[in-house]
Amino acid sequence: MSKNMKVVRKSMAVSLTGLFLASAALTGCSDGSKNASSSAAPSGASAGASQAAGSIDHSKPLTITVFDNAANYQGEQTGWYGKLVKDKFNITLNILAPQVAGDQLYKTRTAAGDLGDLLIVDNSQLEELIPAGLVLDLTDKLKSTKYLSQYVDNHFKPFNAGFDKVNPEGKIYGLPTFEADTSPTTFSEEIPYSSPIMPWDYYKGVGAPKLNNLDDLLNVLKQMQEKYPKTPDGKPIVPISLWKDWDGGSMENVRWVSGWYGFEQPDGTSTIQLNAKGDIVPLVDDNSMYKKILQFYFKANQMGLIDPDSPTQDWNKVSEKLTNKQVLLLWYSWQRGFYNSIERGKNGDGNVAIPIADTHIIQSSDAYYGNGRVFAIGKKAKDPERIMEFMDWLVSPEGLRYYVNGFEGFNYEKTADGKFQLTEVGQTAFQKNTPVPDEYGGGGYQDGQSKLNTMIMSDFTFDPDTKEFYNSNYWSATIEANKTALTTDWQKTYNAENATDYYLKNNMIDIVPNINTSLGTDSSDIKNKRSQISDYVKNTSWKMVFAKNQAEFDQLWTKLQKDVVGLGWKDVLAADTVKAQKIVKMRADASAGK
């Protein structure tokens, strides 16, 4: 590994197209949001590119039950992606989504001994499924694949080796999600995963005041709210919109904004926050960043800045508002894609990074080894060979292009130099839910996108044909097209090529090696205590945001600190501290090139 943390800094502009960013929308992501080598969906006769011709029989229809922690949708995959998979593999994807159906779905199905055919689960769940015998060993199956086999040595083996307590032989049971093919210490993106983002025209419309702290942010949001109360078509604009359905061990909207001030909540933990130096702070500590951000949201609500729909709406409702430019403060990088476009950028219209002077962001490097979830095959899968073939196609150039960028001739086209560029339709197909030609499946483009909502190899892998990332925001044609009034004005204002460049120049970001490994499974005792504590923390956090006054906010916090102790806080905290210490050591090793 490189001894120095590297950042890919091409001469790229502030991203405007957002085709991938929005479609990645992906899950709490993470967080955090996708393609075709032919202008028409391939026929079933072309299936099986990763296997010997004719070795797999596609004549019988196959419905794959997909247990998918990343999905925001439950039911059959329809639309253009559904037609594509059906035509190519004679497969129908039936998605089971805990984010829709509830966490009990995992417990119920594992207790029955059959989670599903294709599984997209958290690392901690894989660690339970291996000894329970509920997932297949993929080691030998990978050898016959054309594309997945390329990632075995550098990606799949190192990841699975981390599960040594339940997998002493180092077999490959899970394929990590969103893996980048750059390096373990490279950060390739033009903007941090979570940072302050607002509409540039509205921000300038109130004088573009310098933001020194969160109080300044609230004040400028209030000014923007007063000057821009409604969209041109009369829809109400809200400064901050929150949602509950992504909450895990704590309030997710608090978790990611804490990262602005250098503290993250590592995946697999629920009681701590960790900074780049390795400091571990309990979530309920009076000085925790978690409390600071709860206080920020509370104050925002006292000022009338929080969307009143927040306690009851889900992510899908928020995404509609983002598409309509009804939300002033964004914090996930991919949220820009719901509204931003090249055409709007020409008029100086779009969501961009607005730095706050006292922030110091913590940012993980590219997810070289993945980012917290895995693809696996259930032990009772009906036809494992056809599922493997499908997964192999997912990481092929054709499969990645369909997933990330739609299909050639509709969303994008080849340029004279053999690279790709977005078509006029492709620039806004997601935002406008553009109707898809019947030959591709009909319906709206956004409606028909892959509901898997996750990838094995990410858009930060290189397309072998173009030698550019699959992510269309980093295509040379997109970078050139993005030299708009919005981009150039932002660059001139901040004297930087992009947000990452700005934060690096001003020593406002710590880029830490991305660590994706087994952190150990909870005992049944810890698991039960964690579940009770998490529910209590989440519920109390929401009450605190909407407390009637500061006194009630403080009372709720004090009660939270006391009550979680009775629920077993110290035991769960101790377990999470061990996990965090492992992360700290692995980051140190990665930075040292070990």
pLDDT (tens digit, 9 = 90+) per residue, 332-346? Answer: 999 999 999 989 999
Q: Which two tokens stand for residue 52?
A: 């010997």
> So what's the pLDDT on residue 34?
31
pLDDT (tens digit, 9 = 90+) per residue, 369-404? Answer: 998 899 999 999 999 999 999 999 999 999 999 999
Three-point CA angle 432, 434, 440, nearest 5° = 155
pLDDT (tens digit, 9 = 90+) per residue, 503-515? Answer: 999 999 999 999 8
DSSP state of 13: P
Average pLDDT, the chain: 90
* pLDDT higher than threshold 80 for residue 474: yes
Q: Which two tokens stand for residue 96?
A: 């089971």
The answer to whether 220 and 208 are in contact (CB under 8 A) is: no
pTM, 2 dp: 0.81
Three-point CA angle 497, 502, 508, nearest 5° = 165
Backbone angles phi, psi at 408, to 5 degrees: -60, 140
Q: Which two tokens stand for residue 267?
A: 């995946």
Pairing mode of beta strands 330-332, 62-68: unpaired
Query: Any bridge partners for residue 66, and if so which?
Result: 95, 118
Q: How far apart are CA 201 and CA 352, in angstroms?
A: 10
Q: How far apart are CA 301 and CA 367, in angstroms?
A: 35
Q: Which two tokens stand for residue 191?
A: 């903007």
Q: How far apart are CA 39 and CA 34, in angstroms?
A: 16
The answer to whether 34 and 26 are in contact (CB under 8 A) is: no
Task: Tell me the mean pLDDT in the region 548-556.
Answer: 98
* pLDDT higher than threshold 60 for residue 28: no
DSSP state of 89: H
Q: Go through the chain and tell me how many residues it has.
A: 594
Q: How far apart are CA 478 and CA 13, in angstroms?
A: 9
Whole-angstrom CA distances from 201 to 179, 341, 454 are 35, 14, 33
Q: What is the DSSP string of 555-593?
A: HHHHHHHHHHHHTTHHHHHHHHHHHHHHHHHHHHHHHTT
How many CB atoms within 10 Å of residue 195? Answer: 27
Instruction: Of 63, 89, 2, give the one whose Cα is nearest residue 391.
Output: 89
Q: How far apart are CA 432 and CA 495, in angstroms?
A: 33
Q: How far apart are CA 220 and CA 196, in angstroms?
A: 12
pLDDT-based confidence at residue 187 (cuts at 50, 70, 90): very high
Pairing mode of beta strands 509-512, 361-364: parallel
Q: How far apart are CA 90 and CA 92, in angstroms?
A: 7
Single-letter amino acid, residue 97: A
pLDDT (tens digit, 9 = 90+) per residue, 31-78? Answer: 333 332 222 333 333 444 444 445 899 999 999 999 999 999 999 999
Pick the range with the lowest mean pLDDT from 124-138, 206-220, 516-530. 516-530
> So what's the pLDDT on residue 73?
93
Whole-angstrom CA distances from 307 to 67, 206, 222, 313, 328 are 32, 21, 13, 10, 11
How much of the chain exceeds pLDDT 90, in percent? 83
Pick the range with the lowest mean pLDDT from 51-60, 83-92, 483-492. 51-60
* pLDDT higher than threshold 60 for residue 532: yes
* pLDDT higher than threshold 80 for residue 20: no
pLDDT-based confidence at residue 79 (cuts at 50, 70, 90): very high
> So what's the pLDDT on residue 184?
84
The answer to whether 271 and 576 are in contact (CB under 8 A) is: yes
